[in-house]
Amino acid sequence: MAPDQLAAEAGIPPKHFAKELADLAGHGFVIESHPLAGLRLISAPAHLCEAEIACDLAVSRVGRIVRCVESTSSTNDLAWQAAAEGPQAADGLAVFAEHQSSGRGRRGSCWLAPPHSSILCSVLVWMPDVPGQGAILTRAAAIAVAEAIEDQCREEVGIKWPNDLVIDDRKVAGILVESRPAGPGPGSVVIGVGINCDQEEEVFPAEIRRHAASLAMLGEEVDRTLLARAFLGRLDQVIGLMGEPSGVAEVRRRAAGRCRTIGRRISLREGDSTYTGEVVDLDPDYGLALRLADGRVQVFAAMTTHVAAQGE
């Protein structure tokens, strides 16, 4: 397409168009210019770009502010730093990083990935401080991640209780929700998400290699920018849904429909004790209802237990 025609379609005055092209080149876009054929995009940068993610993003809240950094200790840390700006300035902020040196996972574990191989994102929102808030937001984020991956891939995504996303029983994403109540009224919450996109199998430690995967390992070529945009759009929708009268119940229903732990025989660790049985349900606060060997059904909270073993 000729530069003048492209400038007109983009609504950019011709005198500014050359500067815009130079800015794109500075961000890593390679654009070929031909005197007859016009302009052609040769390649886009490997890193995530704020402008690309935010451009015409159809959201009302989540993702209204987008920041991208090359490296950080944790995107959750950056989101918490931004929380000091207050909800008017920072509500809906989404922070992406290409690499984390100390990414946090559940129960103090680390989330580490090679640079430019994942979606590493934290979203900052202010939410009413209600009982079970972390559990319902974990479910909401899980729904958003699952739907975003399905928007871009052919794979069906399930939820492995309490905070993992799986394809064919292999973990492809995880969620960590942190909250800091501020007394009466809404408190700040950070929703941290990691999605494995382009890793090779040998990147994963040997002890988890059989249970973890990237989308690339499953045969999916993912555009990380499109996946990031899809995630923000989906999370915006589900966070908005939670403000409706039946919204929380709907989030619970949709999460339960994706749960791959219901019906499985598992072993749970709670303190120094291990319990084994069949998962028969999720309770409203996102605990597991486990039918034990003696027939009793006991509920275990996500905050105090973890899955030690899982069968078919």
How many angstroms separate the CA atoms of 159 and 283, rounded? 15
Give this prediction's pTM.
Answer: 0.86
Strand 65-72 versus strand 273-282 pairing type: unpaired
Ordered per-residue pLDDT tens for the chain, 312 residues:
677 776 777 678 877 777 776 776 666 667 777 776 677 777 566 789 999 999 999 999 999 999 999 999 999 999 999 999 999 999 999 999 999 987 655 555 556 678 999 999 999 999 987 778 889 999 999 999 999 999 999 999 999 998 999 999 999 999 999 998 766 678 999 999 999 999 999 989 888 889 999 999 999 999 999 999 999 999 999 999 998 999 999 999 999 999 999 999 999 998 899 999 999 988 877 888 999 999 999 999 887 888 877 765
Residue type, 117: S
d(CA 76, CA 121): 8
Q: Confirm if 203 and 217 have CB atoms less than 8 A apart.
A: no
Interatomic CA distance for residues 289 and 279, integer angstroms: 6
Task: State whether residue 197 is helix, strand or coil.
Answer: coil
Q: Where are the domains of the chain?
A: 3-43, 50-258, 265-310
pLDDT score, position 121: 97
Q: Give burial (CB, 10 Å; 0-12/13-18/19+) of 80.
A: middle
Instruction: Report the DSSP pairing between strands 30-34 and 93-100.
Output: unpaired
The architecture CATH gives domain 265-310: Roll (2.30)
Token pair listed for 230 = 């899809």
Query: In this predicted structure, what is the pLDDT of residue 132?
Result: 80
d(CA 22, CA 2): 16
What is the predicted pLDDT for the residue at 219? 94
The pLDDT of residue 31 is 73
Q: Other C-beta atoms within 10 Å of 221: how many?
A: 10
What residues have CB less than 8 Å from 164, skipping those under 6 apart?
Answer: 171, 173, 174, 175
CATH of domain 50-258: 3.30.930.10
First to last CA, the chain: 55
DSSP 101: S
